[in-house]
Homo-oligomer: A and B are copies of this chain.
Amino acid sequence: MKNEKIPYKIYLSEDELPRAWYNLRSDMKQKPAPLLNPGTGQPLSAEELSAVFCRELVEQELDDDTALIPIPTEIRDFYKMYRPSPLVRAYCLEQALDTPARIYYKFEGNNTSGSHKLNSAIAQAYYAKRQGLRGVTTETGAGQWGTALSMACAYLGLDCKVFMVKVSYEQKPFRREVMRTYGAQVTPSPSNTTQVGRKILAEFPDTTGSLGCAISEAVEAAAAEPGYRYVLGSVLNQVLLHQSVIGLEAKAALDKYGVKPDLIIGCAGGGSNLGGLIAPFMGEKLRGEQDYRILAVEPASCPSFTRGVFAYDFCDTGMICPLAKMYTLGSSFIPSANHAGGLRFHGMSPVLSQLYHDGFLEARAVEQRSVFAAAEQFARCEGILPAPESAHAIRAAIDEALACRETGEEKTILFGLTGTGYFDLVAYQKYNDGQMSDTIPTDEELARSIEALPKVPEI
């Protein structure tokens, strides 16, 4: 066995839990472009944003300069219930691959939300509580974010209203029941509890809903009821800030053993996990202190980095949200029913988009069946049943490790294992039965949805 001194799992002590989040934007020379008001085409002010988001979260959203933002004690106390999360050396997988590469993964699935989403959910719920709000609203598709927010709200005694895409509400009843167990009010979307929901239901009575519609309902519900704000689990700068705790811990754990990764890999949907995992490493890279290869892995069915354009676009398919400058396939793009629900987003975090545009980040698209083959191989070696989203990163890590077997390079690979697949067994069943398919969009399809991008004057 290589590196005998390095344990299977490197746990930090609670004292070593980061005391501040790291704001990657502070080290970016080229800052991410601001969110625009879709009506005026002008950057959104703090006042405008505060009508929808909590005040302190707006400050974090707009702060491109402060490097370290202290984590409040109450949030650190909550983090201690499931953090520091383990950094694991994948000894068994290395052996199975017969690779000279060293593979590490940062595992974020050891909490009931089953993913890293809890890192930002507790932060957003905490600031809502501190502002004296009664509750928060949000949307959820696959359900990880809704679960995480429900858990955070239950802990703080805050109301939580989740609009769950109707098809998920019906097909993923277990996610729904977890949220209800944590006290959340879960409404299938579209619903007749909002104007936009009633409008859509009148027009399309048989619709099974969409994330775009659920966002619209959640925003309306927050605006309609005093003491409520809307919260979002990815894409936003504030979310990447909170998720930096993943990368800070991973780096601290590796530093203990003097390990420098050559390559850092994360799956990318809206960018919350990838942005968090790479934050401190990318900071060193931006400051010219250390070089790392950093790789975003996305589904071939929803390839925003590898086949999208860098432009202003709506974050929601309903086209009511602010415009963000990002790699996008167009907000009208409907990806095929890829089972990695968390990666079915047409756009990408503006921070990561800017970094990719500036050449600090690579991207790769992988197909679904090869992703599940990697998930199965990983599960059998390492014990953990990964979420389909996480398995995108596993696929790339395995491919890179196999390349090392050819070249003999002893690369050190770090990837983010964002969560567990306990609620994704319909997908595993399809894979086990040889009935899994994947649909890659044609150039014509992408051209159509990209053609439909909003026309916004560059500022």
CB contact between A379 and one of B181, B381, B431 (< 8 Å): that residue: B181
In the complex, A383 has a CB within 8 A of chain B: yes
In the complex, A385 has a CB within 8 A of chain B: yes
In the complex, A14 has a CB within 8 A of chain B: yes
- Distance (whole angstroms) from the CB of A117 to the closest CB of chain B: 13
Q: A114–B382 Cα gap in the complex (Å)?
A: 15
B425 with A385: CB separation less than 8 A = no
- The residues in A between 145 and 161 inclusive whose CB is less than 8 angstroms from any CB of B are 151, 154-155
Q: Which residue of B lies closest to A8 (CB)?
A: B80
In the complex, A380 has a CB within 8 A of chain B: yes
Known contacts: A11-B11, A81-B8. The answer to whether A385 contacts B178 by CB under 8 A is yes
Contact bitstring A1-43, B, C-beta under 8 A = 1, else 0: 0000001110101100000000000000000000000000000
Q: What total of chain A residues lie within 8 Å of the partner, measured CB to CB?
A: 43
B7 with A428: CB separation less than 8 A = no
Q: A241–B151 Cα gap in the complex (Å)?
A: 36
- Distance (whole angstroms) from the CB of A186 to the closest CB of chain B: 10
- Chain B residues near A292 (CB, 8 Å)? none
B112 with A177: CB separation less than 8 A = no
- Distance (whole angstroms) from the CB of A147 to the closest CB of chain B: 9
B112 with A180: CB separation less than 8 A = no
- Chain B residues near A182 (CB, 8 Å)? 379-380
Q: A383–B429 Cα gap in the complex (Å)?
A: 28
In the complex, A82 has a CB within 8 A of chain B: yes
CB contact between A7 and one of B80, B380, B384 (< 8 Å): that residue: B80
- Chain B residues near A8 (CB, 8 Å)? 14, 77, 80-81
- Chain B residues near A81 (CB, 8 Å)? 8-9, 88, 92, 382-383
- Chain B residues near A92 (CB, 8 Å)? 81, 155
- Distance (whole angstroms) from the CB of A419 to the closest CB of chain B: 12
Q: A325–B429 Cα gap in the complex (Å)?
A: 42
Interface residues, chain A, with chain B CB atoms under 8 Å away: 7-9, 11, 13-14, 77, 80-82, 88, 92, 110-112, 114, 151, 154-155, 173-174, 177-178, 180-183, 376, 379-385, 420, 422-423, 425, 428-429, 431-432
- Pick 17 A–B contacts, CB within 8 A, sort by A: A7-B13, A7-B80, A9-B81, A81-B88, A81-B382, A111-B384, A112-B383, A112-B420, A151-B383, A154-B379, A155-B380, A173-B429, A178-B385, A180-B428, A181-B379, A182-B380, A422-B423
In the A-B complex, the 3 residue pairs with the smallest Cβ-Cβ separation, listed nearest first, are A174-B425, A154-B380, A8-B80
Instruction: Knowing that A181-B385, A181-B428 touch, tell me 10 more A-B residue pairs with CB under 8 angstroms.
Output: A9-B14, A11-B11, A81-B382, A81-B383, A111-B384, A112-B383, A155-B381, A177-B429, A181-B376, A181-B379
